[in-house]
A and B are shown apart, each in its own frame.
Chain A
Amino acid sequence: MEAADAGPAGPAGPEPVLEAKGITKAFPGVLALDDVSLALRPGEVHALVGENGAGKSTLIKVFTGVYQPDGGELRYRGGPAAFGTPLDAQRAGISTIYQEVNLVPMMSIARNLLLGREPRGRFGVIDAAAMYGEAGRVLAGYGVETDVRRPLRTLGVGAQQMVALARAVSVDARVVIMDEPTSSLEPREVETLFGVIRRLRDTGIAVLYVSHRLDELYQVCDRVSVLRDGRLAHTGPLAGLERLKLISLMLGRDLTEVRAEGLTRFSRAHTRLNGEPVVEARGLTRRHVLEGVNVSVRPGEVVGLGGLLGAGRTETAKAIVGALPLDGGQVLVAGRPLRGGSTTAAIRAGVSLLPEDRKAEGIIPTLSVRENIALAALPSLGRAGVVSDTKVDRVVEIFMRRLRIKAASPHQLVSELSGGNQQKVLLARWLAVRPKVLLLDEPTRGIDVGAKAEVQALIDELAGEGLGVLLISSDLEELVEGADRILVLREGAVIGELSGDEVTEERIMATIAEQADG
């Protein structure tokens, strides 16, 4: 436990293993990093926090050779360092889990896990049997039990994240960098992850940990650095730093102001609504995935979908908007059946889905923020198929302001925005079509505290205006605070419904466990 002793290290801790000195990095139109210095010491878990677009991911990419800094110096293990490519950094012992899952979806799970380190047999040829065996063993240690020969894309986002994690940790590393590793993990998996992190720390490895979930930081981190608009706003031990103080540092606002506003923005009481459902799904069935799921949402109601990873929540949402071919079942909007298999029809009827996988299913990377926001609403933003620029500009301006989207200009490419801001762009896209029902699949994943509260407030506000909301979230707290009613899913079937006072984290967990036992 010697390394742990040096854990919550003060200024007099051991020599830094990885250090940034006065790093500057600019992109067209933005100075993403401005004179940032940060030191990582062996055996510490160092939190890196900040609002969306503060520069966290950029700093990480500078550390790992994805970007070359425009100014400043990198030091690694006591000497100056310059990594030309991620491979260089990896070889030197810096291993990274990036914010967006960065694996190869079409390759098998095992090959993804072991790429570059496959077990060899005779003649230096890959030993397939050994590879599958090893991959299965390693992943089992992370709670992923699956056929490792299947393509990675058949896994849910959470499980993919676990594969990326297992991959990064299983190499010989001195520094492990994690950019929002928990954003798509279940509480159970988060525990697994924390176990791994503590084990790493105890062996003297330095961990740089980025997350927007503040409670997590307090559970595993020793020190914290706060980035604000590309500049270092604070660095120091985490213990003793008040949570609200941390938030005020991130937002750059007064402590008292933040305190006055409180933390979560869900303010409505859980109510029982008795109106006619605006959308009703009956007996949604798809082999191996969904088994007769019934869901209904009334105007002004927030219905939560709970369940563990792979429970079929995403599939349910996709089925409702017609993005998933079904073997059986029907969706009614305001009592009228919806034509199956057509998202266009669903959207026209007023049902929209904010998808879970922002990169693959959400943004159009080659288009600007403006065009991404206007995309779904285009038919209504013009006449006779000709787009009215003024109408588009107005809508874009309204939503960029309302959601506080941080971009150099509406014409900036959406792929250049930080993850959180991309998410807001997508929300804007959906709000712009004025839906009657909004299906939100992990709407606050990867969003900073400020923005998260804004999104939550927005959900409240929209429900207040009579919009029906279906909320899918792995964040139980968010689900409980936000939803009026919660359906718990397991293996593609609804196993329980909680409403009114029953809507608590304990009851959700209990429902899942009950069924598992029975």
Chain B
Amino acid sequence: EEPQSAPAATSTAGQQVVQSPSGTAAGPTCTLTQFGGTKFDLKTATVGFSQSEKEANPFRIAETKSIKDEAAKLGITNLKVTNAQSQFSKQITDVQQLIAQGVRLLVIAPLNSDGWEPVLQQAAAKKIPIITVDRKINAKACSDYLTFIGSDFYEQGKRAADRMIDALASKGKVAILLGAPGNNVTTERTNGFKDRIKEKAPGITISFEQTGEFAREKGQQVTEQLIQSNPDINGIYAENDEMALGAVTALKGAGKEAGDIKIVSVDGTRSAVQGIADGWLHAVIESNPRFGPLAFETAQKFLDGQPIPDKVIISDRDYDTGNAKDSLGEAY
């Protein structure tokens, strides 16, 4: 059987778009001299990329692939990739060992925002610029690290809430399938969603929130329990697509029809966009993982002496019934 969700990151379709284009941003910026580094040639330098989770879900696969592809495209031959297998301690060690291997530029997809002290110290001592992608590091831009490229998870939660409010016409009962506990992404997507609901639609109650640990099977199991004990639920907010798709399987198994319960989720994987087309999902907020081009472009600009903003927020799309079919090719 053909895999139904092969990544399509090689095409330029679905390329990241910067929300606040570099240079024109109002926020603080950073130049090579401010940072205190020296110019070097990206092509011949050793570059390190530290991935946080296994390349096993579409997001991580697309992310790593995008970095590797872009490096290959630019002729960077010495790219070292490590994978922390979701263990934070390992990621710290990984990056330290990358530094020991003499990398001149670090691209990090952090597993966690806090706890980077030892790495930052070492990198700063050697003046190695760090670009963090998809999650932030809580530290000082331009001295501890160079810049952050990624989405705004809190904003994603808010936008998901907007979609849910639309779908339920501002009233009803909603369940949340939380991500893994303790994860920044979980926290921010939850807070954004809840804050927005409270602010805009007090008629919607959040009557259930349980973790599905970002996994499809767990999403299915929790949803099965949920619709047994809360048959009156109107909407499900899943903090990633996998859990949403698990919820869909559960609803199908329980004899529900597409659209009976409105599901909104975040990520924008191909299966989820297909789910919208099939009518099972209501909307998906995109979180774009293709960081390669933007990351290396930013690095090159920095090395060329141009000012770099302290954060580069990309603009994520929404998928809904209106655009799902046409956007299928751009989903990852």
Q: Quick check: do A and B touch in the complex, using CB within 8 A?
A: no
**Residues of A near any B CB (own CB < 8 A):** none
* Interface residues in chain B, defined as those with a beta carbon under 8 Å from any beta carbon in chain A: none
